[in-house]
Chains A and B, each alone.
Chain A
Amino acid sequence: MSYLGKVELKSSDIRRVDVTSSTSATHTLTWTPPSEQSLIITINGVKQQNNYSISGVTLTLDTALVATDEMEVIGINDIGTTTVPGDGTVTTTKIEDDAVTADKLANAINTSIAANTAKVTNATHTGDVTGATALTIASGAVDLAMLSATGTADATTFLRGDNAWAAVAGGLSDASQWRLTSNFAGDADPIASNLAVVDSDGYGSLGSAMTESSGIFTFPSTGYWLIICQYSARYDAVGASGYAMLKTQTTVNDGTYGDAAIIYTTFESGTDYSSTNGQFLFDVTSTSTHKVRFRVDQSNTSNVTLGDGSKNMTAMTFMKLGAT
């Protein structure tokens, strides 16, 4: 017999057994008939009826055959058995819309669905995202750590439109002021002591301040720094003129200092006071090699450089104008 479709999906087939030269009443079939009615038995061409029984694959005739008998047994194999689709052969289109019920799903799936439904409709969320139905971001909840911006967020940087933290280009970022806190007579090469950050009369610094050690000033960061000096002196010699000078000395190798700026002040005679100021613009490309100090030279050892702990007499101002 030929088949249409896949052989593996057939529900039944027709079997036949021919028996000759047998004198037995029992015979073994090649299949298991589901019932007596599924068999057509003929002996010598005569159909048999109600004179046999089956049990499993064993056919038992009420009367044993004689040797000359020819028995033909025809039966349908596996009548009524369920057609079982092969593994992995049921496609989505084979399933009717809205036909799969919750009972047909795995319990774990139903549990997950129930849990997710509860999150949306029932649970009250707290923290940065709040709400029981529509979820909203709480006021003041978004801090810098939640941003994806690159760079470093600190007191000197701002968030740009390209999502990067960056320093503001241009404008003053650092400014501080130091003063000489005590008078001294004669020269100082350099002014190495009695220097302090101004701290009176509403003084305020901007950004990072300079540091000083033994008269050597170190910059807190690279950049273009404007150095402004204010110098005040008193002339105590009698009957002669004189001068005093303040030198701004810089180094670019942390060793050799040059006179970057010199300011003079002169005296007519006798006790006389005088002040002057000067500036120098220093391109500090390295904070470890670029430093500044200040030196005083006097025409007379009785000249007094004026310093005061409460007001600026001799003072230095450092302002960072921008990045180098």
Chain B
Amino acid sequence: MRPEHIEDILVKLHTGQWFGWSDPKNRVYANLIIHGGQDKPTQEHLESELASMQAEYDAQEYARNRQAEYPSINDLIVALWENVVEERAASVIELEAKRQAIKTKYPK
């Protein structure tokens, strides 16, 4: 899930119900309230962390795309078994071609 809100950062700072919103329908920094003894993070920190996490998430888009189209683990195991045990490399070669095509389609 791509982080879209500073609440996605807040839940990673501390566990438990240490924060809330004075107006739950308008969850902006100005309405952020701290329940416990935690320090209130600055808006700049939260927004910076959010931008960083979004960049990190976006940077992994190629990986998520590749993951979605890669052959299944089951297909890989069968191909490896055929190649190693049965000395038939056709499936391995075919799957490797598919993997390389996907990598080309979704470069880093």
Binding site for B on A (CB under 8 A): 181-188, 191-194, 196, 200, 234, 236, 271, 301-302, 304, 308-310
Contacts and interface: CB of A to CB of B under 8 A. Distances in A.
Enumerate the 10 nearest inter-chain pairs by beta-carbon distance, A residue then B residue, closest first.
A309-B24, A186-B15, A181-B24, A185-B11, A194-B20, A309-B25, A184-B17, A182-B20, A301-B15, A271-B1
B19 interface: yes
Nearest to B14: A185
B15 A182 contact: no
A188 B24 contact: no
Given A187-B16, A310-B25, 12 more contacts: A181-B20, A181-B24, A184-B15, A184-B17, A193-B17, A194-B24, A196-B24, A200-B25, A234-B1, A301-B15, A309-B25, A309-B27
B85 to A, nearest CB: 29
B108 interface: no
Contacts of B25: 200, 309-310
A193 B38 CA distance: 15
A194 B21 contact: yes
B58 interface: no
Contacts, number: 58
Interface of B: 1, 7-8, 10-12, 14-21, 23-27, 35
State the main secondary structure of chain B at its contact with A: loop
Contact of B24 (A182, A184, A236, A301): A182
A200 B20 CA distance: 18
A275 B19 CA distance: 23
A193 B35 contact: yes
A181 to B, nearest CB: 3
A183 B7 contact: yes
A165 to B, nearest CB: 40
Contacts of A271: 1
A231 to B, nearest CB: 15
A184 B16 contact: yes
5 contacts: A184-B17, A185-B14, A194-B21, A200-B25, A309-B25
Contacts of A186: 15-16
A184 B27 contact: no
Contacts of B27: 182, 309
Interface centre among B10, B16, B17 (most CB of A within 10 A): B17
Nearest to A234: B1
A310 B19 CA distance: 17
A236 B7 CA distance: 14
A184 B21 CA distance: 12
A301 B27 CA distance: 23
Contacts of B17: 182, 184, 188, 191-194
Contacts of B16: 184-188
B19 A182 contact: yes
A59 B91 CA distance: 176
A174 B17 CA distance: 29
Contacts of A184: 11, 15-19
A234 B7 CA distance: 13
A184 B34 CA distance: 12
B32 to A, nearest CB: 10
A309 B21 contact: yes
Contacts of B19: 182, 184
B11 A304 contact: yes
A236 B2 CA distance: 11
A308 B24 contact: yes
Contacts of B23: 309
Contact of A310 (B7, B8, B24, B35): B24
A302 B11 CA distance: 8
A319 B7 CA distance: 32
A185 B15 contact: yes
A193 B20 contact: yes
A271 B24 CA distance: 24
B31 to A, nearest CB: 10
